[in-house]
């Protein structure tokens, strides 16, 4: 896992003072190109790691050889935790790396560094097929989470209504390149899509956060509520096993192969908010897929098929393929 490697790279540099990409590659059992990217990632994150060109050069950690992380400034320690922290939500190796960092940091830096580590997380499971670039707003909101400062948001909701509110930012989630902000409001916990934030102003007012709050736990509750809304209807279908992965891409976590076969075809459970939502996804498959149940999805497919047949009748004299 890259997060664990980054910590290992940093500790090796502190012990040796200077290393080459080739030495790191041999030590970590990765390619030279991968080792070089790890060094560049540390440097880009604000860690004082710099290349020394020429014969006898390599990469050095400014400040000389050390056996712990006490040479890092508060900002540098925070930068490293921001780099490693998001992966800890989905990787046990990254969690172990964070524990190493906490033990190595001086006491005065630990609170801010841990806040940086828990300020963002990554949820790799898709809710849609759309891709998004990281919004510039993420950096400002991330700063607000770490510094525990209230933020004044101008926000547009699903109904395109624009509102302004003062919120307590609790954490950010990157879900398939779409960013969400979990925050406290006068109405309790709310989830905001960052790409719908029109303006955000960091205030000097201290933000409040529940003592027992953890970002991963709060996000799982949000996911559970969304998944419940998105899977009110379930259908059982038969399809060739080679196409199951395509259904996974279409339905995400709402696609559950049962492991059963019927005349060589795989049985799969698919979930969506309504029978029509399932039918719309499956209509393009034609005879490649068979819906066993429920009848409501079968009826929607029949209706869609009849509509298409009326809209696009075969030309006179054309022969139909059997």
Predicted confidence at residue 4, as pLDDT, reads 57
pLDDT class for 1, splitting at 50, 70, 90?
A: very low
Q: Is the pTM of this model over 0.85?
A: no
Whole-angstrom distance, CA of residue 78 vs CA of residue 265? 52
Q: Which of 126, 199, 125, 108 is nearest to 156 (CA)?
A: 199
- Residue pLDDT, tens place only, 123-156: 656 555 554 566 788 889 988 998 899 999 999 9
Give residue 17's region: left, alpha or beta (phi > 0; psi -120 to 50): left
- Residue pLDDT, tens place only, 280-296: 999 999 999 999 999 99
Whole-angstrom distance, CA of residue 137 vs CA of residue 148? 16
16-17-21-25 Cα dihedral, nearest 10 degrees? 20
Q: Which residues contact 220 (CB under 8 A, 6 or more apart)?
A: none
Predicted confidence at residue 314, as pLDDT, reads 81
Whole-angstrom distance, CA of residue 241 vs CA of residue 228? 27
Q: Which residues contact 310 (CB under 8 A, 6 or more apart)?
A: none
pLDDT class for 256, splitting at 50, 70, 90?
A: very high
Residue 310 structure tokens: 């009326």
β-bridge pairing 120-123 and 162-175? parallel
β-bridge pairing 233-239 and 265-272? antiparallel
pLDDT class for 41, splitting at 50, 70, 90?
A: confident
Q: State the average pLDDT over residues 255-272.
A: 92
- Residue pLDDT, tens place only, 80-93: 666 666 655 555 66
* Ordered domains of the chain (ranges, CATH): 2-117 (1.10.10.10), 137-213 (2.30.30.520), 231-311 (3.30.70)
Alpha helices in the chain (DSSP H): 2-16, 21-28, 32-44, 74-84, 92-104, 107-117, 137-147, 215-230, 244-251, 275-282, 295-311
């Amino acid at each position: 896992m890259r997060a664990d490697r980054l910590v290992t790279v940093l500790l090796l540099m502190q012990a040796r003072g200077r290393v080459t990409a080739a030495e790191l590659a041999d030590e970590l059992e990765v390619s030279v190109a991968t080792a070089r990217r790890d060094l560049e990632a540390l440097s880009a994150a604000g860690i004082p790691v710099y290349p020394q060109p020429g014969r006898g050069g390599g990469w050095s950690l400014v400040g000389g050889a050390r056996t712990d992380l006490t040479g890092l400034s508060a900002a540098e320690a925070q930068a490293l935790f921001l780099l490693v922290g998001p992966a800890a939500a989905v990787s046990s190796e990254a969690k172990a790396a964070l524990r190493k960092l906490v033990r190595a940091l001086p006491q005065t830096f630990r609170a801010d560094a841990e806040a940086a580590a828990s300020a963002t997380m990554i949820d790799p499971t898709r809710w849609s097929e759309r891709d998004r670039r990281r919004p510039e707003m993420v950096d400002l909101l991330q700063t607000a989470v770490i510094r525990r400062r209230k933020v004044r948001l101008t926000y547009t909701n699903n109904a395109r209504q624009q509102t302004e509110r003062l919120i307590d930012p609790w954490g950010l989630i990157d879900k398939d390149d779409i960013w969400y902000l979990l925050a406290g409001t006068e109405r309790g916990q709310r989830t905001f899509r960052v790409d719908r934030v029109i303006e955000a102003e960091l205030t000097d007012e201290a933000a409040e956060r529940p003592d027992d709050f953890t970002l991963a736990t709060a996000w799982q509750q949000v996911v559970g509520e969304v998944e419940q809304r998105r899977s009110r209807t379930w259908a059982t279908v038969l399809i060739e096993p080679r196409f199951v992965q395509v259904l996974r891409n279409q339905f995400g976590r709402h696609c559950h192969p049962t492991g059963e076969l019927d005349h060589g075809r795989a049985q799969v459970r698919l979930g969506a908010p309504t029978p029509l939502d399932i039918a719309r996804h499956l209509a393009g498959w034609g005879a490649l897929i068979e819906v066993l149940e429920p009848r409501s999805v079968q009826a929607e497919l029949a209706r869609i098929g009849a509509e298409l047949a009326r809209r696009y009748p075969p030309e006179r004299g054309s022969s139909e393929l059997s």
